[in-house]
Amino acid sequence: MSEATSPKEQEQPAQDAPAAALAPPIKPTARGTGLALLALLLGAAGVAAGAWSAWQLRGLEAREQQQLEQLQAARSQAEALAQRTQSLDARLQQLPPAAELEDRRRLLAQLQGDQQLLNQRLETVLGASRQDWRLAEAEHLLRLASLRLSALQDINSATALVQGADEILRDQDDPAAFAAREQLAKSLEALRTTNDPDRTGLFLQLGALREQVAQLSALNPAFESQGGVLGDLVAEGDGASWWAEWLETLSQYFRLDFDADRNIRPLLAGQSLTQVRLALSLALEQAQWAALHGQSQVYRQALQQAHAVLTGNFNQDNPDSRALRARIAELIDRPIEVATPDLSGTLTAVQAYLQRKQSARERVESAAPVNELPVEAAPSAEEARP
């Protein structure tokens, strides 16, 4: 368009020539470049507007998708709430009415009150039962201590039993038990000052003597040369050995004793020695039984019998029988019986205390009301309102 000319301009070339010569020449290239740039700017603006429109459209689609998802979640929550509401409605329909619930609440409160009252009664009964059991145990300990003293004369066991009964009465912390505890203290001091022989040790010593009796044997007489003319003859010559052997063999059958007034016991045969050992063992065993049971007369009689058997069947020069006889003589005078204190007064005092305590408890129980009203339930908040 810039280079084309109209017919009117071609017809008047002469008229325009002086004007064209005076005006500067026009550059057609710069004008076309500006139009191109303007077209490019318009195109870029259109592309940007299109891109922005597409981005906005995409964002709208994303928001619509998110809103759809939220709507679906809200629908699912609404459905779940509806189901829970239906289940709650069903459970509410199954529940009893308000009047029945109130009755049940009152019954529950009454039951709790009755249970509390029952627990208090049970604690009271159990506490009294424990005290009764402990006091009955103290009485049993005293009976057992008295039995140990009368049957076995066991001072140590009786002391421990009486001390246990005194500890039970001390734990009661009752001033009414003063008289019973006074008797217990007297019995304890009497037991502690009583001489208690070691009968167990004496029993073991007699058992050791019984073992020695099983090894006791008779002493065979033997010829012992005292020198002199025969000894000098035996020492001379080469026949000393056969002469000594002959004398040794002869001494087993004959014995020359110039002290004729001494009492010589005959040798015991095998069966007789066994019978003597058995008699000694039985006598010592009887002495052991008497030592454990505190029978002084039986103890001395058994040891005297054992001493007589040793004296009558064994020679005085037998060292085993002589040592055994001396030991038995030492044990004969050993004291085994003691004068045990009497616990009957203490037992009577404890029994009297138990009877007084039982009578006082029966009076308290008879004075208490037989029937007790149950604990009433506290009023509810609705009932307390005016």
DSSP 273-303: HHHHHHHHHHHHHHHHHHHHHT-HHHHHHHH
Summarize the confidence of residues 358-376 as an average pLDDT. 60
State the residue for tokens 């007084």.
356
In this predicted model, what pLDDT tens digit does every residue of 58-113 receive, in sequence order?
888 888 888 888 888 888 889 898 888 888 888 878 877 888 888 888 888 888 88
Looking at residue 241, what is its pLDDT?
Answer: 65
Which whole number is the average pLDDT over 26-44? 75
Please name which of 300, 356, 364, 343 lies closest in space to residue 144, comparing C-alpha atoms.
343
Higher model confidence: residue 352 or residue 116?
A: 352
pLDDT at 346: 92
User: Six-digit token pair at 5?
Assistant: 């000319």
Highest mean pLDDT among 13-17, 29-33, 78-82, 240-244: 78-82
Q: 113 to each of 123, 369, 375, how far by Cα in Å?
A: 15, 18, 5
Looking at residue 381, what is its pLDDT? 39
Q: Is 341 within 8 Å of 334 (Cβ atoms)?
A: no
Does residue 208 surpass a pLDDT of 80? yes
Q: Is the pLDDT of residue 228 over 60?
A: no
Domain boundaries, the chain: 104-195+342-369, 197-216+267-337
Give the pLDDT of residue 354.
87
Output the CA–CA distances (angstroms, integers) from residue 224 to 217, 238, 308, 362, in the order listed.
Answer: 21, 21, 30, 94
Place 10 in a pLDDT band, splitting at 50, 70 and 90: very low
Give the tens place of pLDDT for each residue, 268-309.
545 678 888 888 999 999 999 988 887 889 999 999 999 998
pLDDT surpassing 90 at residue 161: yes
Flag whether pLDDT at 251 surpasses 80: no
Instruction: Give dist(CA 103, CA 99) in Å, integer.
Output: 6
Side-chain-facing half-sphere of 60: CA atoms under 13 Å: 6
Reduced to 3 states (helix: H, G, I; strand: E, B; else coil), residue 4 is: coil
- The predicted model scores a pTM of 0.46
Amino acid identity, position 126: L
pLDDT at 24 over 60: no
Q: What is the pLDDT of residue 284?
A: 92
> Is-contact 375 116, C-beta < 8 A?
yes
The alpha carbon torsion through 250, 252, 257, 260 (nearest 10 deg) reads: -130
Using the predicted structure, report yes or no on whether residue 164 has a pLDDT greater than 90: yes
Buried b (16+ CB within 10 A) or exposed e, 167-178: ebbeebebeebe
- Mean pLDDT over residues 29-53, rounded? 82
Predicted pLDDT at 59: 84
3-state helix, strand, coil in the chain (%, to 5): 75, 0, 25
- pLDDT attached to residue 26: 47
Q: At what angle do helices 344-367 and 178-192 cross, to 10 degrees?
A: 160
